[in-house]
Chain A
């Protein structure tokens, strides 16, 4: 089907896919179809598959949140499970002491965002795999604290009987109802990430990823934006943690080790820096071991092989970030009305501000 996959990929990045019209059509069709499928899912399939749907939703939130830091801002972060854990514990502890779920969910985000802020600070002075190891170290420290702070976290025993999610008097007790809750939070997360990465802030993150020195020369406060990315990312991962805690109703430190961080990293890399990619990455790595039950014990073998093959053959992931096309808009803007105060001569359109004083 594809005579020249490399050529095609390059064209995709340049944003010229329209030449291959069928691909565009396919892409346009996939989105609405996926949404329709997601909404009707619990009516179509068995409860077990709906359960997997819940997990995929939770992991897609995690993958989206890591993408903010790694995919867009280009910072290597290997301790993402720590934010997931902080969110899960914050929400579980609050609800276990009688507070409502919505407060737990919010607190999960805030606590994990604070964690993100702390982990983000080293990114001011460090980058590359050094930053990767720092974030990994932070993740291990969080896990050690959860293991050893018995009086609060009950150590390796973990927290049990976490109450189910409850909003406006409705208890999300069944798998299907929880599925819709997870889907709602996922939709909110996806919307937030989408708006963020397509904004001035997202542009700054991408600039930092591409060339930090040039980003500074463009007037971007790179330190602020890196810490910001970690903080927002932490917040979103915290939400995922809260969902997990109230869905499974049991958490312990073992669920949030470095293996979990690597799983999230693998999902992010597999999918690429895009909404579809995040969902695809999460779904693939969760489903393949399910489909090939015999392989369940060999999951890490599979993840490991996926990582190596990806880095060799498709380092930008299955659905890489797409470049927006501006040419049409720019031409229309110039064609519409000559903006006041500018002639159409050869000189640059910007004039230095008039002297003041």
Chain B
């Protein structure tokens, strides 16, 4: 398999995970117009909880519990660190700072509960390798891609076809009007936060099986990369988040061949360049529909 093709495949796989994280950012941003800085911390907490469950059951149960736990945590963050500020009409900057505070608290809680050690992820999916034409892959990689793409499709259906999705879209368009037409905006805010957080935990679990480990440090970086992916694609846009994640994954893999030790810097450089050159991202329309 040629190097470029291999980089492309690897990039797409890890990129699909970034997409999931980015989706969480984008969902929350499109509803609340705030960057949830605690996203990475929620991801780690969910992943570590999922890992404990996984060790006693199997990967899929672990995945489910991780998503549920993170969803709950996300709802809590919204209620504790966002809602009181919205009630007082605090500026968005203050809400952002408040999520930084929430992130710090979750980080420390995770440290106290799970300890500072890097935890190995037990091999929980079959290690079978296979070849598809010139592309070689493993079941793990297939599962990652399948879960990510499946969730993205599911999210698209959720937003476009369900009552909850309709409430979300109405809130994005105009929260006050939505409230007048009977949408419980507070609940939509909380549930969207929960949904975005659950996606982050799924991404965390997928990264766990991919790298065979999970630790506290991954949260910050994963959160930053998800944010970069979201901004890359155009924050607030679902297809943008997907595309941004994939693009970041590939860019990182290619960038790493030249700047091996600066792999993680690629994301930050992309971030700075994108925000300066095209702040609305690849697919973003500053004023158009956001979800």
Contacts and interface: CB of A to CB of B under 8 A. Distances in A.
Q: Answer yes or no: do A and B interact.
A: yes
Interface of A: 76, 122, 125-126, 128-130, 132-134, 136-138, 140-141, 144, 147-148, 258, 262, 265-266, 269, 297-301, 303-308, 311-312, 315
A25 to B, nearest CB: 32
Most B C-beta atoms less than 10 A away, residue of A300, A303, A304: A304
A311 B90 contact: yes
Contacts of A125: 275-276, 279
A129 B91 CA distance: 11
A134 B279 contact: no
A262 B41 CA distance: 15
Nearest to A299: B108
Given A125-B276, A129-B35, A258-B220, A311 B264 contact: no
Contacts of A305: 101, 105
A311 B264 CA distance: 31
A128 B93 contact: yes
Residue of A122, A136, A311 ringed by the most chain B CB atoms within 10 A: A311
A135 B105 CA distance: 22
Contacts of A298: 108, 112
Interface residues of B, number: 43
B108 to A, nearest CB: 4
Contacts of B111: 297
Interface in B126-147: none
A300 B105 CA distance: 6
Contact of A136 (B91, B109, B224): B224
A76 B97 CA distance: 10
B269 interface: yes
A129 B272 contact: no
A130 B232 CA distance: 12
A301 B104 contact: yes
Contacts of B17: none
B93 A133 contact: no
Given A138-B272, A258-B220, A129 B112 contact: no
A218 to B, nearest CB: 22
Given A130-B279, A138-B272, A301 B85 contact: no
Contacts of B269: 137, 141
Interface of B: 34-35, 80-81, 84-85, 88, 90-98, 100-109, 111-112, 220, 224, 227, 231, 261-262, 264-265, 268-269, 271-272, 275-276, 279
A6 to B, nearest CB: 11
A308 B98 contact: yes
A304 B104 contact: yes
B97 A269 contact: yes
A144 B67 CA distance: 32
A301 B224 contact: no
A230 B93 CA distance: 19
B90 A304 contact: no
Contact of A129 (B80, B81, B92, B102): B92
A312 B35 contact: no
B96 A307 contact: no
Nearest to A262: B100
B107 A308 contact: no
A305 B95 CA distance: 13
B93 A312 contact: no
B94 A140 contact: no
B231 to A, nearest CB: 8
Given A130-B231, A133-B231, 14 more contacts: A129-B35, A129-B96, A132-B96, A134-B272, A137-B269, A141-B269, A144-B261, A144-B262, A298-B112, A300-B104, A304-B101, A304-B105, A307-B97, A307-B104
A294 to B, nearest CB: 13
Contacts of A122: 272, 275-276
Contact of B98 (A130, A297, A307): A307
B96 A76 contact: yes
B102 A134 contact: no
